[in-house]
């Protein structure tokens, strides 16, 4: 693939098709993360919103760079490379905006697992089901008069951590028992060896 000599955050139409190629090839998670990084504003670390491109080629959300410049007294410069900029020379980066829209829709980037039935975020843990469910699942179960044992995710984590601690304690006790059994067995074997040597004489 052709390597562009321009900074990677500078999306010209050439780079645009290059990134599109990556998407059709089903990029790896690392590649997705790389692309995602490029589509995040260095000031707010979130997806670009109304990205403005400065004369140096760096991009920022319009609101972010305006806020940043409000705090400057006289000269305005790029927060990334410190190059002097004029607001009138900044342009909206429509290509970048479209890219952000496209990439955000990729299923790989959905950070929260979704309910296969309702498409909502899985935010509850159902104890009787032993799995994560969404709020709609909960309503369905409640309307059917089923068990009301739902846990918020953080509570579920807490609950299982406690269970784990109990299991760990039980395991450690069992391990100790096994260890002492093994010692007893070794003693018995040693005693047997001594006895058979004595008897053999």
User: Interface with Zn ion includes 106 (CB under 5 A)?
Assistant: no
The runs of H, that is alpha helices, within 71-201 are 94-104, 135-143, 153-200
Nearer to Zn ion, 23 or 135 (CB): 135
Q: Is 33 within 8 Å of 15 (Cβ atoms)? A: no
DSSP 142: H
| Neighbour count for residue 60 (Cβ, 10 Å) | 27
Q: Which distant-in-sequence residues (6+ apart) come within 8 Å of 130 by Cβ?
A: none
> For Zn ion, which is the closer residue by CB, 117 or 177?
117
Residue selected from 18, 80, 121, 123 as contacting Zn ion according to rule CB under 5 A: 80
Rule CB under 5 A: is residue 85 a binding residue for Zn ion? no
Residues in 129-188 that interact with Zn ion by CB under 5 A? 134, 136-137
The count of residues interacting with Zn ion (CB under 5 A) is: 16
Minimum CB–partner distance for residue 136 and Zn ion (Å): 5
> Which residues neighbour 125 within 8 Å (Cβ) at sequence distance 6 or greater?
131, 132, 133, 150, 151, 152, 153, 155, 156
Report, in Å, the least distance between residue 43 CB and Zn ion: 5
**Which residue in 117, 155, 162, 163 binds Zn ion (CB under 5 A)?**
117
Give yes or no for residue 90 binding Zn ion (CB under 5 A).
no
96 lies in the binding site for Zn ion (CB under 5 A): no
Stretch that binds Zn ion, among 1-9, 10-18, 26-34, 116-124 (CB under 5 A): 116-124
What is the closest distance, in whole angstroms, from the C-beta atom of residue 151 to Zn ion in the complex?
15
CB of 164 to Zn ion, least distance (A): 27
Listed in sequence order, the residues at least 6 apart from 118 whose beta carbon sits closer than 8 Å to its beta carbon are 134, 136, 137
- The percent helix, strand, coil of the chain (3-state, each to 5) is 50, 10, 35
Show contacts with Zn ion in window 35-74 (CB under 5 A): 41, 43-44, 56, 58, 61, 64
Residue in 56, 28, 23, 22 with CA at minimum distance from that of residue 42: 56
The residues of the shown chain that bind Zn ion, judged by CB under 5 A, are 41, 43-44, 56, 58, 61, 64, 78, 80-81, 115, 117-118, 134, 136-137
């Amino acid at each position: 693939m052709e390597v562009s000599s321009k900074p990677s955050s500078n999306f010209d139409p050439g780079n645009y098709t290059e990134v599109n190629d990556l998407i059709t090839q089903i990029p790896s998670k690392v590649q997705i993360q790389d692309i995602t990084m490029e589509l995040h504003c260095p000031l707010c670390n979130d997806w670009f919103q109304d990205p403005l491109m400065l004369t140096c080629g760096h991009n920022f959300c319009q609101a972010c760079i305006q806020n940043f410049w409000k705090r400057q007294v006289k000269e305005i410069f790029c927060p990334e490379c410190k190059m002097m900029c004029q607001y009138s020379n900044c342009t909206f980066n429509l290509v970048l905006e479209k890219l952000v829209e496209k990439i955000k829709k990729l299923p790989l980037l959905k950070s929260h697992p979704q309910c296969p039935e309702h498409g909502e975020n899985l935010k509850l843990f159902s104890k009787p089901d032993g799995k994560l469910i969404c709020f709609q699942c909960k309503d369905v179960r409640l309307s059917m008069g089923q068990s009301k044992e739902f846990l918020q995710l953080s509570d579920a984590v807490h609950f299982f951590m406690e269970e784990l601690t109990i299991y760990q304690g039980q395991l450690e006790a069992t391990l100790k028992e096994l260890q002492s059994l093994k010692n007893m067995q070794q003693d018995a074997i040693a005693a047997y060896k001594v006895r058979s040597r004595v008897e053999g004489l």
